[in-house]
Amino acid sequence: MQAAQAGDIDSFGKLCEEYYSPLVAVAYNALGDHQLAEDAAQEALARGLVNLRKLKDVRKSAPWLAQICRNVACDMVQSQRPSAAAEEISGTSGDCQAHETAQIVRAAIDRLPASMKEVVILRYYNNYSYKQITAMLGLPKRTINGSLTRAKRKLAEHLRRRGVPEDML
């Protein structure tokens, strides 16, 4: 990061490669659309670069970029067509039960409190480790763990009420 701050674009490129994927997940949390989330992450990196030299604590670069990405995504909030997204995510449209379950799960995740939802998205969108989530959000592992546990408990309850078979929970 220090090299990037000093003007080494290639070092910034390394950071981009490191952070791009989790930034997409952060943006996806707000936007619910993969393509828009990628646009938001790319825009966040551009805004991050322009403001890079204002960053005082390089250890907080990841949560700093995540916050920029949240801001960008907030500006891009859109109402998407759920059917299109569902097709894209669940794969085969013929698998009706899986399709329906995926929709129920996404709806349940949408109902989670914002901070909890972000942790869930980061954990499952690209399968990030606790360590990666900790670095990205700048939160202690204990907090991440607690958020995920509570989120999963809420999700399980919601899914159970919606008739998702117990053996899937």
Partner 1 sequence: MKTEDTDNKLDSVIRTAIGREDVPFDFGQWRHGHRAAIEQFQAQCVSGESLNSSQMSLLRRLRWSPVFRFAVAAVVVLVAVWAVSHLGSPFDVAPAYAFTDAPEVLARAATIHASGWRYFPGHTMPDGSAIPPVPIELWVDLVNGCERQTTTGLSAGKDYVHVGVGELIQNSQFMFRLDHTEKTSFFFPRGIQAGAEGLVDRSVRLLLGDFAALASAVKVGDEEIDGQECEIWQWQRDSQVAGPAFRTRFWFSPATGRTKRVESWMKWGPADWQLAQEYTRIELDLPLGEGIFAMETPVGYTAMNTPEAAALPPSRPFNLGGYSDGRCSLSYGAARSFTLADGSVIWGWWSIDKMSQTPREAPFADLVFGGPLPKVPIEFNALVPGGEPSDVTYWGHHLTYTSKSYTDGGLILTEWVLYVPDETPAETVEEYDYDALYVFNLDHTPHLKISLPVPYGRRIGTAEDFDRWVLPAIGETSDDGQVPAGLTFDRVLQLAEQIREAHAREKGIERP
Q: Which of residues 37-66 bind partner 1 (CB under 8 A)?
A: 38-39, 41-43, 45-47, 49-56, 58-59, 61-62
Task: Using CB under 8 A, pick the residue from 26, 66, 68, 159 that binds partner 1.
Answer: 159
| Whether 1 contacts 65, CB under 8 Å | no
Nearest to 103 by CA among 152, 163, 38, 23: 163
- Residue count at the site for partner 1 (CB under 8 A)? 77
Q: Is 119 in the site for partner 1 (CB under 8 A)?
A: no
Cα–Cα dist 31/36, whole Å: 7
* Shortest distance in whole angstroms from residue 33 CB to partner 1: 9
Cα–Cα dist 27/34, whole Å: 9
CB nearer to partner 1: give 105 or 144: 105
Q: Which residues contact 168 (CB under 8 A, 6 or more apart)?
A: 101, 159
Q: Is 127 in the site for partner 1 (CB under 8 A)?
A: yes
CB nearer to partner 1: give 36 or 144: 36
Q: Is 150 in the site for partner 1 (CB under 8 A)?
A: no
Cα–Cα dist 17/99, whole Å: 32
Nearest to 85 by CA among 70, 57, 115, 106: 106
Q: DSSP letter at 112?
A: S
Task: Using CB under 8 A, pick the residue from 67, 76, 143, 154 that binds partner 1.
Answer: 76
Q: Is 18 in the site for partner 1 (CB under 8 A)?
A: yes
* Shortest distance in whole angstroms from residue 161 CB to partner 1: 15
Q: Is 90 in the site for partner 1 (CB under 8 A)?
A: yes
